[in-house]
Amino acid sequence: MERIGELARMICDEVRDARKYAKLALKAKDTSALADARTFAEISNQELGHADKLHDMVVNAIAQAKQAGKEPPEGMERVWDWEHERIIEDTAEVRNLLGMLNA
């Protein structure tokens, strides 16, 4: 289950980077650097894609552990639930920032 904690940290890093690039895209759009804005938005979306792939790894690790008869410690489940909720909220924020590019 230590792996889940490591993957959760990696997901947070990817989402944080996605937020950074989304903000850079909006800033570039405001300065009429549309090519730069598109590039930053593309990088932001790639970072979100990385986060999605890491999330899939967590889901698979949990499923494999349960199939092997290993239940995650209760504390680890609570930590993952909390981290997962935060990741969902942070990802939604990034997607909203990216959505502002089309407004």
N-term to C-term CA, the chain? 42
Instruction: State CA 30 to chain mean position distance.
Output: 25
Give yes or no for residue 2 having a pLDDT over 80.
no
- Per-residue pLDDT at 86: 94
- Residue 103 pLDDT level (bands cut at 50, 70, 90): confident
Q: What percent of the chain has pLDDT over 70?
A: 98
Listed range (14-23, 39-48, 79-88) with the worst mean pLDDT: 79-88
Instruction: State CA 103 to chain mean position distance.
Output: 23
* pTM for this model (two decimals): 0.89
